[in-house]
A and B are shown apart, each in its own frame.
Chain A
């Protein structure tokens, strides 16, 4: 299972764009990069998933360079409700193993 490394915490303000980078140097060919969001006392919620280049959905964008050894989750114009822990995982068909995650705090 590929190990991931991401910042422990980040601070931002409402309306700003937040970029959270995750490194996964040992990513395998079959692995996808997946990001989850977790609020206190709730289960993780799927945000976005990608394999290479750029993926965008209604809540976020995911940028993956050609070597796939890192990825960046981009949250446009964050609001207070985006305060949460964000987990980066790489996974193919095996179990999900969570790293420490990034605790994002959005202030007014």
Chain B
């Protein structure tokens, strides 16, 4: 299957700072990327959908000014958690979908564990 990477895999930051997480599709062009967050023993919660070259669409209740998403190329999307607080500590997962005839398939990254102290 297709490969999606995330960087970093783990990050610890201090409260009030910003953190950027990268999501890359390594062997296909991702026309659409998705960002999820997951709390311990909970399901994945979709945060936003981003299409290359356009603004992200955020799910209800997700602050777009706090979670900045950029999808500048067909292989890279970034999520920036601005002015992070301890309650932002979570597991962030991206997924990518190509614009092929099998466009219902999504490939997930390995996730990024964010800890805000």
Contacts and interface: CB of A to CB of B under 8 A. Distances in A.
B107 A93 contact: no
B105 A49 contact: yes
Contacts, number: 50
Interface residues of B, number: 23
Contacts of A44: 44, 93, 95, 108
A45 B103 CA distance: 16
A30 to B, nearest CB: 9
B110 A46 contact: no
Main secondary structure of the interface of B (DSSP, over half): strand
Contacts of B109: 43
Nearest to A97: B46
Nearest to B45: A98
A87 B36 CA distance: 15
Contacts of B44: 44, 87, 98
A98 B43 CA distance: 7
A36 to B, nearest CB: 8
Give the bracket for the number of chain A residues in contact with chain B.
Answer: 20 to 34
Interface in B35-54: 36, 43-46, 49
A100 B43 contact: yes
A43 B105 contact: no
Nearest to A99: B43
Residue among A32, A92, A98, A101 facing the most chain B CB atoms (10 A cut-off): A98
A64 B1 CA distance: 23
Given A93-B104, A97-B46, A98-B44, 12 more contacts: A42-B111, A43-B111, A44-B93, A45-B108, A46-B1, A49-B105, A95-B34, A95-B46, A95-B49, A98-B36, A98-B43, A99-B43
Interface of A: 32, 34, 36, 41-46, 49, 87, 91-93, 95-101
